[in-house]
A = this chain, B = another copy of it.
Amino acid sequence: MPPEDGRRYIGFLIADVARMMRSAFDRRVRRIGLTRSQWLVLSLLHRRPGVSQSELAEMLEVERATAGRMIDRLERKHWLVRRPDREDRRINRLYLTEDAKGVQAEMGRIAAELLDDAMASLAEGEREALAEMMERMKAQLQSMGQRRAALAEAGSQPGVAP
């Protein structure tokens, strides 16, 4: 195998594993009436209650308009509420309802079970090593993204004209 293909091979593997975990999870949570974007929102809001719509959009990597519509749907289902910020009237802050907290707990159980199954063939030490390597890759990818953003910023700076 030529070295270039070796690197691409790892790329495919990571993508495949992530995709398979995601679709297995999708299938399992569908039984409790959740779609992918919905459980993403619920999971995020559980970790960060009170985020604004824009913050949520950014963290989920979707457009603000898209996030707004996702929130509409979840609010209609009474799984979250919009509450106006006290100091800035432009901002809606988002909170899970009690209903959603139950659903969220069930999701957590399903996720843990799925990961246990998926990592059944990894020893404890291997899991730690895997997590540690993935952390390094994530940090690296983050720094790449930031560098790119910084360059874009700088690139638009010198030109003074609109």
Contact = CB atoms under 8 A, between A and B. Distances in A.
A118 interface: yes
Contacts of A138: 13, 16-17, 20
Per assembly, the copies of the chain total 2
A128 B27 CA distance: 31
Interface stretch (A50-58, A67-75, A76-84, A141-149): A141-149
A108 to B, nearest CB: 7
**Interface on chain A toward B: helix, strand, loop, or mixed SS?**
helix
A8 interface: yes
B8 A131 contact: no
A115 B8 CA distance: 7
Interface of A: 4, 7-11, 13-24, 27, 61, 108, 111-112, 114-122, 126-127, 129-131, 133-142, 144-145, 148
